[in-house]
Chains A and B, each alone.
Chain A
Amino acid sequence: MRVVVDSGVCTGHGRCYALVPELFEDDEWGHSSVRGDGEITEAQRPQAGRAVAACPERAITILD
C-alpha cells in the first residue's frame, strides 16, 4: 500500500506535513512530498487517510 502526492495538484497548503509529519515532509517551496517511497503499513492507513481528508486540493491518494 502506498500514499502519493500529486505534485501537479499540490499548491503548498501544508496541512499534510503539519498534521502527519511521519508520512509527509515539506520541501523548499513549502509543498509536500511523501517520506521515502511512500509505502505505508495497514497501521499507518488512518494517518494517511487523515492527510487525504485535510488536503484542500485533494492532491493525496492512497493506492492499494
Chain B
Amino acid sequence: MSTETVEQPTGFFEAAPLTFDRAEGWRYFRAPGEVYQRDGIWFLTSHAAVRFAHQHPEIFSSAKAFDNLGSPVTLIPLAVDPPDHVRYRRLLDPLFAPRVIGAIEPELRRQVREIIGAFADRGSCDVMEDLANLFPTQVFLTLFGLPLEDRDTFIDWVRTIVEAPGSTASDGATPEAAAAGAALFGYLQDFIVAKRAHPGDDVLSTILAMSGDDAFSDDEVLGLCFLFTLAGLDTVTAVIGFVLARLAGDGELRQRVVDDPDLTGPVIEEILRLELPAPFTPRVVLSDVEVCGVTIPAGSFVFLVLASANREDRDNADDIDLAQADRGHLSFGGGIHRCLGSHLARRELRIVVEELHRMIPAYSVAEGYVPRIHWPSGTLHLTSLPITFPVRSPASGGA
C-alpha cells in the first residue's frame, strides 16, 4: 500500500482511511464521539444517535438535505417530509413488497444465469464489470418495462451522476453529471409519454394508471424514476461486489455457503451490516435539537453514519458472525424512509449468490489483487474485483 500514490486529503471526511479497510475507516468516524461536527458537517455515529434521527423525521429533514442536488424534480419519496411522505409510501410500498418481487424472480434468475454464462468458461472475470454492474440495471429495466438493450447507456449515465464529486455533499453537480442527468431525464420522459399511451404489465405502467386522489403527475413519476436509478442501481452493484469479494477472499466461508445454501441469507445480512454502499444518510436539522447530550443548531447539515452504528452491539463487531446474522442492522436505513427497494435488493443479492454458486462454486480473488473502494465518494463500491475459477469441462459432467 505504501507504493500507492494518494492525493493529499483535504478534510476530515476525505481523509477517512476507508479505501482498503472499512473496519479502520468506521472506527475513524466513530472515534471523535457519538455526535460531533467537522468542516461544517455534523456526524451522528452511534446506534442511539442514528435511531433518534430515524424516529424524528419532523426534525431531521430529508427534503431539505436533497434540495441542492440540482435535481429539477423532487426525488420521490426520499426528498419528501411528513405529512406528504405517507401518501407516496402508501401507494409505492405495495409495488415493492416481497410478494410482488417473488412474481418476477424466475425471470431474474434466468437473466443472472445468462450474465454468468457469458464468462463461466473463461476461467476469470471482473465481478464488477461482468456481473455487478449489469444485473441491477437489468432488474430495474425489467421491473419498469424498459428495453434491456438500453442497459449499457443507462449504466453510463448513472455512473457519471453517482460518481460525480460532491454527489452527497452540498456543492452541487459537475457539468458532466448535469449532462448525464439531462440525458437520463429525457429518456425517462419519453417513456412516461409512451407508457401513458400504451400501458404494459410493469411497475411504471401501474404507477401511471393510478387515478383520482392517487394519481401521479408526470413530474412526480420522473422524480420517482430518477430516485430509483440513483438509489437502486449503484447500491446493489456495490453490495454484489462486497459480498463476492468476501466470499472470494475467504475460501472456508465460501465453501460453507456452497455446502449449505441456507447460509446464503445470513452471510448476505452480515456483509450488508459491514459493507454499506450508502453509509451516510444526509439530513438537515429544522430546529435546535439535543442528541446524546449534544445540541445541534437549526439549519445544520447532518450525516447519519449508518456504518458505524452497525458495529457496536456485539463483541468482534467488525467480523462476520453468521450465528448473529439475525440481529438486524441499519444498512437500509430506518424509520419512515426505510429503503423502499430493500426487499428487491435482498432478493437480487440472494439470486446472484445462489446462481453463481450453482455455476461457479469455487472462485477466489485474482492472485496479488487487493480489493479497494473508490473514495471519497457518496456511495461506496469496489473499483474492480478480478476473480479466477476453474473451468468445468463439459466432459466432467456436473449437474
Contact = CB atoms under 8 A, between A and B. Distances in A.
Interface string A1-42: 000000000011111011100000011111100000000000
Contact of A54 (B96, B99, B328, B338): B328
Contact of B338 (A11, A17, A28, A53): A11
Contact of B326 (A17, A31, A53, A57): A53
Interface of B is mostly: helix
Interface string B264-276: 0100000000000
Contact of B98 (A30, A54, A57): A30
Interface in B334-372: 334-336, 338, 342-343
A41 B97 CA distance: 29
Given A29-B90, A29-B94, A29-B97, A14 B326 contact: no
B327 interface: yes
B329 interface: yes
A29 B329 CA distance: 21
Nearest to A58: B51
A21 to B, nearest CB: 11
Given A14-B342, A14-B343, A29-B90, A50 B326 contact: yes
Nearest to A31: B93
Interface residues of A, number: 20
A26 B97 CA distance: 8
Nearest to B335: A11
B26 interface: no
B328 A55 contact: yes
A55 B98 CA distance: 17
Contact of B99 (A26, A53, A57): A26
A18 to B, nearest CB: 8
Interface residues of B, number: 21
Contacts of A28: 94, 97
B140 interface: no
Interface string B87-113: 001100110111100000000000000
A54 B97 CA distance: 19
Contacts of B332: 13, 56
Interface string B317-335: 0000000001111101011
A14 B338 CA distance: 11
Contacts of B330: 56
A35 to B, nearest CB: 16
A54 B313 CA distance: 12
B93 A12 contact: yes
Given A11-B338, A13-B338, A14-B343, A26 B98 contact: yes
A53 B98 contact: no
Contacts of B342: 13-14
Contact of A53 (B89, B90, B96, B328): B328
A54 B273 CA distance: 12
Interface of B: 89-90, 93-94, 96-99, 265, 326-330, 332, 334-336, 338, 342-343
Given A11-B334, A13-B334, A14-B343, 7 more contacts: A11-B338, A12-B338, A30-B93, A30-B94, A54-B327, A56-B328, A56-B338
5 contacts: A17-B98, A18-B98, A29-B90, A54-B327, A56-B329
Give me the 3 closest cross-chain CB pairs, A-B, nearest first.
A30-B97, A29-B93, A11-B338
Interface of A: 11-15, 17-19, 26-31, 50, 53-57
